[in-house]
Amino acid sequence: MSMTILIAPSGFKESLSAETVAARIEAGVKRALPSARILKAPMADGGEGFTRALVEATGGTVHPVRVTGPVGEPVDAFFGMLGGQDQPTAVVEMAAAAGLRHVPRDRRDPTRTTSYGVGELVRAALDHGATRILLGCGDSGVNDGGAGMAEALGVRFLDGDGNRVLPGGGGLAELAHIDVGGRDPRLARVRIDAAVNWHNLLTGPKGVARVFGPQKGATPAQVDLLSGAMETYAALIETTTGVRVADAPGAGASGGIGAAVMGLLGGVLHPRYDLVMQYLDLDALIDEADLVITAEGSLDGQTPYGKVPVEVARRAKLRGLPVIALAGTIGKGAASNFAHGIDAFASIVKRPCSLDEAIEKADKFLVRAAEDATRMILVGLMLAEGPQVTDRRFRRPRLARQQTGATVVPFSRALPREIPVAG
């Protein structure tokens, strides 16, 4: 049989969906190796594409909803209903309502952006009859601790005078009381499972405000404000509900939405791949492949801490497969990914250009980068097997699962021990 290549990428934030990335890589591979058998597995990590990936995998449906966006203006969002489930299960992707792509570049102020629309999506799912909700956390444009989401579901956030605090993470600096008396009663009868990055903490020197606030537009002074606000918020959640969120793994996911899920809505947080892989059978596709190509918008020292390329590489390595990663940018510490199963990586940008141009032309750049990578692979095969390699059968010695005894360990037990600060 000819070479079988599995393409398992993440989406490129604010640019291309995971499905589009996979299609563009396929086009590039086919230019260099038309005979290749291509398997595609667009990956979901809780961020953009989470809903559509799980809906497609289960034969479900997508339902459009107009909600309040992160800057307070209406945005077109959606939730999904999974197919083939024993109980009505909704998929809510927080990025659909409060993702960074919904925050114009000149309005990126995480002291003011709100997750209120995420709560409206949850409410719409409840109205549709969902008794279980899978909440994908990632690619957020907020840092409000999920207070906006909880407020849309009936929780009240009050200052010392009993007035509603302002929306956004900055308003939580004035928080004195959390009132859960008006919380939507349906939440007591629904199961909420949130897919989060297990490394994201709510408070402290590696808390969400300090690590991700600057990426969302926060100034140093605003980072200090948000960090203090998250500490106040965490203390009041614990006082009100008895749930400690300050240092809980995953509580800082999506600007702190994880804290609201576990502390105010009664939900459970899960390392995202432990949840996602229940619906995306990546391992079965890996078993059929000879080579894996993955991709993400940025590959750097943070990639080993919960990002798609390393999760794909980890699983591929259990089966002895080589892994190539393509990325929009190669950042500081990217070489650390070699220790986590990625054998080679390359940027899709081959010449100097602006960020806007790179985003605009990312699809074309991906095609060319995938073609270049495939041609380099063919050169290596020619050196090993002779110049007619493209006409030969490609045979890779297999590491049979029954021979190695390899099993896929849960993502939560395969994490690096140190949590990096964004550089």
What pLDDT, on the 0 to 100 scale, is given for residue 149?
Answer: 98
Is pTM beyond 0.75 here? yes
Residue at which a domain ends, from 275, 304, 331: 275
| pLDDT > 60? residue 413 | no
Mean pLDDT of all residues in 193-207: 94
Pairwise CA distance, residues 200 & 367, whole Å: 33
> Which has more confidence, 201 or 274?
201
What pLDDT, on the 0 to 100 scale, is given for residue 59?
Answer: 94
Pairwise CA distance, residues 97 & 94, whole Å: 6
What pLDDT, on the 0 to 100 scale, is given for residue 95?
Answer: 94
Pairwise CA distance, residues 98 & 291, whole Å: 36
CATH of residue 115's domain is 3.90.1510.10
| Residue 90 and residue 133 in contact, taking contact as beta carbons nearer than 8 Å | yes
What pLDDT, on the 0 to 100 scale, is given for residue 357?
Answer: 82
Pairwise CA distance, residues 51 & 61, whole Å: 10
> pLDDT by residue (tens digit) across 345-365?
999 998 888 877 878 888 899
Q: DSSP 3-state helix, strand, coil percentages of the chain (rounded to 5)?
A: 40, 20, 40
Pairwise CA distance, residues 213 & 220, whole Å: 9
| Residue 216 and residue 100 in contact, taking contact as beta carbons nearer than 8 Å | yes
Mean pLDDT of all residues in 27-47: 92
Q: Are residues 172 and 304 in the same domain?
A: no
| Residues near 62 by beta carbon (within 8 Å), at least 6 away in sequence | 51, 52, 55, 78, 79, 80
Domain membership of residue 416 (yes or no) is: no
| Residue 96 and residue 78 in contact, taking contact as beta carbons nearer than 8 Å | yes
| Other Cβ atoms within 10 Å of 73 Cβ, number | 11
Q: Which of 8-17, 124-133, 406-415 has the highest mean pLDDT?
A: 124-133
> pLDDT by residue (tens digit) across 138-193?
889 999 999 999 999 999 999 999 999 999 999 999 999 999 999 999 999 999 99
Domain membership of residue 410 (yes or no) is: no
| pLDDT > 70? residue 92 | yes
| Other Cβ atoms within 10 Å of 379 Cβ, number | 11
Total domains, the chain: 2
CA atoms within a 13 Å half-sphere pointing along the CA-CB vector of 404? 11
Place of tokens 């009868």: 189
Q: Are residues 135 and 238 in the same domain?
A: yes
Nearest to 12 by CA among 100, 76, 71, 112: 100
What pLDDT, on the 0 to 100 scale, is given for residue 406?
Answer: 41
- In DSSP terms, 179 is beta-bridged to 156
What pLDDT, on the 0 to 100 scale, is given for residue 168?
Answer: 96
Q: Are residues 35 and 54 in the same domain?
A: no
Q: Are residues 125 and 228 in the same domain?
A: yes
Q: Are residues 251 and 304 in the same domain?
A: no
Opening angle at CA 406, ends 401 and 408, nearest 5: 115
Q: Are residues 218 and 91 in the same domain?
A: yes
| Residue 132 and residue 89 in contact, taking contact as beta carbons nearer than 8 Å | yes
pLDDT category at 400 given cuts 50, 70, 90 is very low
Residue at which a domain ends, from 219, 253, 275: 275
Q: Are residues 121 and 255 in the same domain?
A: yes
pLDDT category at 13 given cuts 50, 70, 90 is confident
| Residues near 418 by beta carbon (within 8 Å), at least 6 away in sequence | none
Run of H or E residues at 208: helix 208-212
Structure-token pair, residue 151: 């407020």
Q: Are residues 33 and 168 in the same domain?
A: no
Residue at which a domain ends, from 220, 251, 275: 275
| pLDDT > 70? residue 421 | no
| pLDDT > 60? residue 394 | no
Per DSSP bridges, beta strands 37-40 and 323-330 are: unpaired
> pLDDT by residue (tens digit) across 218-275?
999 999 999 999 999 999 999 999 999 999 999 999 999 999 999 999 999 999 888 8
Q: Are residues 311 and 370 in the same domain?
A: yes
What pLDDT, on the 0 to 100 scale, is given for residue 415?
Answer: 42
| pLDDT > 70? residue 375 | yes
Q: Are residues 265 and 164 in the same domain?
A: yes
Average pLDDT of the chain, as a whole number: 89
> Which has more confidence, 408 or 7?
7
| Residue 220 and residue 269 in contact, taking contact as beta carbons nearer than 8 Å | no
Structure-token pair, residue 184: 């939507």
Q: Are residues 252 and 104 in the same domain?
A: yes
Q: Are residues 203 and 296 in the same domain?
A: no
Domain membership of residue 158 (yes or no) is: yes
pLDDT category at 423 given cuts 50, 70, 90 is very low
What pLDDT, on the 0 to 100 scale, is given for residue 302?
Answer: 85
- Boundaries of domain holding 262: 50-275
